[in-house]
Structure 1
């Protein structure tokens, strides 16, 4: 009986020993190998799927030229007017140069400086530190306006700037003659009015181009382009914005423009929303054409389409017998 008990104990001990010394390590190796096999199989499946998507052109393999290719065919208005045209403003004006230059050539002259609206009697707010690339000053505004006034061949001045650079940034003030409590909106409006009034007094026609919508909530506008984005991925919701919301957000700005129109009846305005939006939404990419190179500026194609629309309006202004629409 004792020998039998000893044999049982030895058997149990050997079983425990062989489990820990042999069976358990072998089982762990098998599990690890199994996991490795699953991982490798998954990677191979993903690779094969990607190759298939590329083959069937569902996902681009190489970068696609998406943004700044010019339009080869688009509707361009006939140009019958004469005289020079000046484009005056910040980088919004700068991004319109290409589209208008295709139509007006050497007749077009521009004064465009990033972050500077070229408003008469306006400066950066004391204490405000502009971006290093924003080098505008009252001196360059004065120089530009004097050159425009002195050239009798200039018939029309287009003023274009992004109000979102100024009103939310609280970065402008009048140089003189304003109350210490003056707000950026008051300085912006007074400067815009003085500029248009000064040009009009010299016999120049004035066209105010209203600011374009901004898509600062987008990390990149590339996500809005079908040719770049895989077809299995939906376009981000922020690639389009409600027109009603945009119009609500710019109510203060629209009020400024309306008061200038009321005070200077000969001044005309062009609403960019009519080109960039339909009745319901405004778009980064519209009708298959990417309009924005970044959240707040035109692509080459966008400049062409906006330039064509603005030129059509310009021709109506310049060819009207009494100078009015």
Structure 2
């Protein structure tokens, strides 16, 4: 995402290639259904950057006048002006439209972006394609982090390797090969790391560097153009187009798939400016104009799209998103002409010093936003402030270390205990849905003299022997859940075991927002049962649940099956009303509720299967939150002035306590302390 350098002969076709890359990314972000593989434009950018910047380095090394100081001064001049402007604008917009926890996150991402470690932060937070990604205005800075981390290391590596003379290309090729291999492994074993981290991406920049080395040492591959150049350009363009069309977010990317856009970009650059396609299409005046503003356009487009989606929610239609794209084009053009060009033309060290100082000040401002919790004083309305807090779920709410001394060494689940000083007498096992039950349930159980412990793993169904297979790799769910079950079995003091999970997703592989024929690429598997490889997802789920209940009940444990809360067909943030100023208003949905019929249809995807398994274990108590959270018309995201959810399927902390207070009447039956008359399961469900 760099610009042509005056030290190199200008190639208009490379600016045209930039235009293709940035337009692919922008259209994908604005209208993902139109261009499902548009995100590969970033990979094309990496190749272009590797080629141009390495060409500059190699030319300077060949001339004996390479200077680290000069190299990094140029990087500051080219990167910081537009980056600072976009971050400052995002912080200003965020002040006016973001809720405190959102603004706190923006402050963190702004500081990370200016420190060129945004990719590391997003790697720790989530996957690129998570729903929440659309609501992170600076998410796109991850690619800038990868690029600048590369350029912190690459000049020094190039200077050392240059001394190898003819073997230099072998050293670069070896580095690229190692990086590619790392990318293949991480794409399977740790997909988020494979997407965000430099070791898995460096080969894309090194592919451009290898081409630059070839050109520097032996000249262009096709100095006079001709048929071979035309074939190379045409093949490269076809590969890039195929990547945009064929690759989508379900693919294991980057991995092998990244060869398509990377090879395509290398071929198009190698074809040279005399190739017919490069000369006619890429060097077209319109394409070149877009290419010249590609960097500021990349920086501007995502924050504008994100803020539109944050403010308007479901009201962000195609026309509005197209308007955001047009605004990004205008902002990018003005940034290029009024900021980038003037600063490039100014000599001396003063502009660079000013840019660095300004960036340090902005980092300080962003850090202040983080430290002060997103500046909640901006919310003048008490209800909005309370609702905004409901959306925040800190790491401390997921797990602590207080209860770890009571656990066997190597236990990996996130642990919580109502009173770490006392022996736990009940255990809740499961995923993040078990976690949202824990807080209210632990408080209500304490009144019954029961101390609750939690052992959970994010995304892990509480099913014995089950794991999640994605892109050929098993996650650690089996270890987390099996260890929790083993702990319950080996601990006499644990009398009751609660099982909580997002059952409808685990059994169906679908979210409420998914189309009827869309199923997650993640597979529920039983690694220790070879015969299960021929089973469908529902059959695997049934066997695993049966085995879990049979194991626990056979050991004399009281088992309570916690049905999932109704899912919403919107994000809970859309229920918050906030009017920060007379120009902007975050107007809530007319109704913070999902139609009961829709909720029932969603639950119907799994209820028959659950009923079939649970009927085999009449001693297992069941709790169903639906009668408490729904009426005949709807299931509510907000009740009694409280926002019960923090997103579309997780309870907020207040929601957890609200639900637990209403289930207290059922706790004696759930714990087996009620009278023996009647079916325990029916009593516990409150039906």
The yes-or-no answer on 1:259 pairing with 2:259 is no
Within a 5 Å distance, the mapping from 1:11-90 to structure 2 comes to: 64-68=385-389, 84-90=425-431
Identify if the C-alpha distance between structure 1 residues 136 and 291 changes in structure 2 by more than 3 Å, giving closer, same or farther: farther
Q: For residues 488 and 555 of structure 2, what CA distance do their matches in structure 1 show? A: 9
Within a 5 Å distance, the mapping from 1:34-183 to structure 2 comes to: 64-68=385-389, 84-105=425-446, 107-125=451-469, 127=471, 136-166=476-506, 167-168=508-509, 169=520, 170-175=522-527, 176-183=529-536
- Offset, 1:305: 1.6
Within a 5 Å distance, the mapping from 1:143-292 to structure 2 comes to: 143-166=483-506, 167-168=508-509, 169=520, 170-175=522-527, 176-215=529-568, 217-218=569-570, 220-226=571-577, 228=578, 235-236=588-589, 239-292=592-645
Give the alignment's Cα RMSD to 1 decimal.
3.1
- Offset, 1:99: 0.8
Q: Deviations over 1:111-154 (max 9, x none)?
A: 11110012112122363568xxxx63312222111110111222
- Offset, 1:67: 4.3
- Offset, 1:177: 5.0
Q: Deviations over 1:229-286 (max 9, x none)?
A: 79x9864257311112211222231012111221111112211111221121001112
Identify if the C-alpha distance between structure 1 residues 210 and 199 changes in structure 2 by more than 3 Å, giving closer, same or farther: same
Which 5+ residue runs of structure 2 have no aligned equivalent? 1-378, 391-422, 510-519, 681-687
User: Aligned to 2:429, what secondary structure does the other structure show?
Assistant: strand
User: Aligned to 1:293, what secondary structure does the other structure show?
Assistant: coil
User: Aligned to 2:567, what secondary structure does the other structure show?
Assistant: coil
Q: How many residues align?
A: 249
The yes-or-no answer on 1:293 pairing with 2:646 is yes
Q: TM-score, normalised by structure 2?
A: 0.33
Identify if the C-alpha distance between structure 1 residues 119 and 229 changes in structure 2 by more than 3 Å, giving closer, same or farther: farther
Asked if 2 retains the 8 angstrom alpha-carbon contact of 1:89 and 1:111, the reply is yes
User: Aligned to 2:559, what secondary structure does the other structure show?
Assistant: strand
- Offset, 1:164: 4.3
Q: For residues 67 and 196 of structure 1, what CA distance do their matches in structure 2 show? A: 39
Asked if 2 retains the 8 angstrom alpha-carbon contact of 1:68 and 1:300, the reply is no
Q: Deviations over 1:200-224 (max 9, x none)?
A: 0011111111112223x43x42321
Q: For residues 310 and 83 of structure 1, what CA distance do their matches in structure 2 show? A: 21
User: Aligned to 1:192, what secondary structure does the other structure show?
Assistant: helix
Q: For residues 458 and 627 of structure 2, what CA distance do their matches in structure 1 show? A: 25
Asked if 1 retains the 8 angstrom alpha-carbon contact of 2:504 and 2:605, the reply is no
Asked if 1 retains the 8 angstrom alpha-carbon contact of 2:646 and 2:652, the reply is yes
Higher strand share: 1
Identify if the C-alpha distance between structure 1 residues 180 and 97 changes in structure 2 by more than 3 Å, giving closer, same or farther: closer
Q: Deviations over 1:82-121 (max 9, x none)?
A: 9811111000011122112223347101111110012112
Q: For residues 97 and 67 of structure 1, what CA distance do their matches in structure 2 show? A: 21
Identify if the C-alpha distance between structure 1 residues 229 and 249 changes in structure 2 by more than 3 Å, giving closer, same or farther: farther
Aligned to 1:11: none
Q: For residues 547 and 675 of structure 2, what CA distance do their matches in structure 1 show? A: 26
Asked if 1 retains the 8 angstrom alpha-carbon contact of 2:457 and 2:480, the reply is no
Aligned to 1:10: none
Q: For residues 125 and 178 of structure 1, what CA distance do their matches in structure 2 show? A: 16
Q: For residues 237 and 182 of structure 1, what CA distance do their matches in structure 2 show? A: 44
Q: For residues 162 and 311 of structure 1, what CA distance do their matches in structure 2 show? A: 22
Higher helix share: 2
Q: For residues 389 and 434 of structure 2, what CA distance do their matches in structure 1 show? A: 17
Q: For residues 214 and 281 of structure 1, what CA distance do their matches in structure 2 show? A: 11
| Higher RCO structure (Cα 8 Å, ≥6 apart) | 1
The yes-or-no answer on 1:320 pairing with 2:674 is yes
User: Aligned to 1:282, what secondary structure does the other structure show?
Assistant: strand
Q: For residues 453 and 591 of structure 2, what CA distance do their matches in structure 1 show? A: 35
Asked if 2 retains the 8 angstrom alpha-carbon contact of 1:83 and 1:155, the reply is no
Specify the structure having the higher radius of gyration (Cα): 1
